[in-house]
Amino acid sequence: MSLLKLSLSYIRRRKLNTFLNVLLLALGIATIVVLLLFSRQFEDSLTRNARGIDMVVGAKGSPLQLILSSIYHLDVPTGNISLREASRLLPNRAIRQAIPLALGDSYRGYRIVGTTPAYPALYAAELAAGNLWQQPLEAVAGAAVAAELGLRPGVTIVSDHGFSSQGDHHGDHPLTISGILAPSGTVLDRLILTGIPTIWKVHEEGGSEAGSDHDHEPVGDAAVALTLPKTDFHYAPADSGRDITSLLIRYSAPMAAATLPRLINARTPFQSASPAFETARLYNLLGVGVEALQAFGIILIVTAALSIFIALYNALKERRYDLAMMRSLGASRAKLGWHVMLEGLLLSLGGALGGLLLGHLAVEMLGSWLSEARQINLSGTVWLAEEVWLLLLAAGIGIISALLPAIQAYRSDISGILAER
């Protein structure tokens, strides 16, 4: 009988003990895998969605809230800002581009974002069907939104006030889907985009965003308008009292980061927020929980290693006579040692493989839940190079755990053991 078959037969004889050892190691490995996959995909998602955005300008409040609401669309905005005041920023030579956003509405839980064509262009988005909005009350749906809700060009939707489907319906101003964006792997996939005039028009019935005292003013792109430098959008007249939610700013030079944010915070009614700084702060906030879970996973792995060692040590005592008979039948000392080592290796690799599968399954389930909650995208089908190191770590644990029992098997006194019988 080969060493592999012999080791497997001994493992199968101790089903409960084997199951518990493998499960303990699998849980430890799975915890580490979940943290690796979550951290990597979360970090990649944050980086991908903030690509090309150097600063966000919005109403005063929490800078992190401003970043989460304007870039990642995971929080409520800090408030609205005056279009007239915002227009005064744009002549600054430190600003290369300013992309306006107007938030506040949604459709069946998916956010509707009033913006300009520069916003999808920022993420190099392409159309899968139809066209970008050309006039007010036209909208473009992201790939995930269209797939989930069955949207297509020509379909009419009625937006809700706020970010939940329980908000007031804007039934007087239905939106027509003019196009569908191709999947981009960015936040655009779960947004509905339209022009800012659409947001104003939808709210013009007495809403502050709409400037209810100016209902006589046209709100279309063709309106008599003030063209703000460094944007591709014709706003309403600067004295119209219109509001937007925020501006996504791109610097004309890296040195602008040292002066422009302080200038805005000190001399304007707005606040500036740096995506790089606030995401780093977010990592730090999450870091405590991640480190605690990592420590928990390491404790499980170490406990599993001790459990395998104890199991092999006790099993060696039970099989002393069997090993002595193998020696008397011609098996070498090295073969006995390798037999015990192989058993430990099989237990640890079984736990590692089980942990990898369990970890990926957990991330896939978590990703499915987050997808339903319309938050970040996670996938259990992503495999990382670090997981190879986890397999090697598990193999090392199995070898180290079996080392002492293997040495004892190698040094076993055949004659003494057989004489006891």
**Pair (10, 67) in one structural domain:** no
pLDDT digits (tens, 9 = 90+) for 20-59: 888 988 999 999 899 889 888 888 888 889 989 999 999 9
Tell me, yes or no, whether 280 lies in a domain. no
pLDDT digits (tens, 9 = 90+) for 295-332: 888 888 888 888 888 877 777 666 666 666 666 666 67
**What is the secondary structure of 202-260 as a DSSP string?**
HTTTT-TTTTGGGTTS--STTSS-EE-TT-S-EESPTTS--EESEEEEEESSTTHHHHH
CA distances from 387 to 305, 345, 355, 382 (A): 18, 17, 10, 11
Give the pTM.
Answer: 0.76
Phi, psi of 249 (to 5 degrees): -105, 135
**Pair (159, 65) in one structural domain:** yes
Beta strands in 276-345 (DSSP E): none
User: Which range among 69-73, 144-148, 335-339 shows the weakest confidence by mean pLDDT?
Assistant: 335-339
**What is the secondary structure of 74-116 as a DSSP string?**
-S--S--EEHHHHHTTTT-TTEEEEEEEEEEEEETTEEEEEE-
**Pair (208, 60) in one structural domain:** yes
**Cβ-Cβ contacts under 8 Å for 369 (sequence gap 6 or more):** none
Q: What own/partner pairs with CB < 8 Å and gap ≥ 24 does 291-294 have?
A: 293/31, 293/34, 293/35, 294/31, 294/32, 294/35
**Pair (202, 295) in one structural domain:** no
Mean pLDDT of the chain: 81
Tell me, yes or no, whether 279 lies in a domain. no
The terminus-to-terminus CA distance of the chain in angstroms comes to: 24
Q: For the chain, how many structural domains are there in total?
A: 2
Phi, psi of 122 (to 5 degrees): -60, -35
**Pair (407, 300) in one structural domain:** yes
pLDDT, average across residues 162-169: 66
**Pair (40, 62) in one structural domain:** no
Question: Are the C-beta atoms of 421 and 321 separated by less than 8 Å?
Answer: yes
Residue 178, helix vs strand vs coil: strand
pLDDT for residue 324: 62
**Pair (299, 406) in one structural domain:** yes
**Pair (69, 180) in one structural domain:** yes
Question: Are the C-beta atoms of 106 and 239 separated by less than 8 Å?
Answer: no
Residue 142, helix vs strand vs coil: coil
Mark which of 273, 296, 316 sits at the end of a domain: 273
Indicate the burial class of 352 (C-beta count within 10 angstroms; 0-12, 13-18, 19 or more).
buried
Whether residue 340 has pLDDT greater than 90: no
pLDDT for residue 308: 81
pLDDT digits (tens, 9 = 90+) for 97-130: 999 999 989 898 899 999 999 999 999 999 999 9
**Pair (308, 265) in one structural domain:** no
**Pair (249, 301) in one structural domain:** no
Confidence of residue 277 (pLDDT cuts 50, 70, 90): very high
Tell me, yes or no, whether 327 lies in a domain. yes
Tell me which DSSP letter residue 129 carries: E
Q: Domain limits at 317?
A: 3-46+287-420
Within 10 angstroms of residue 297's Cβ, the number of other Cβ atoms is: 21
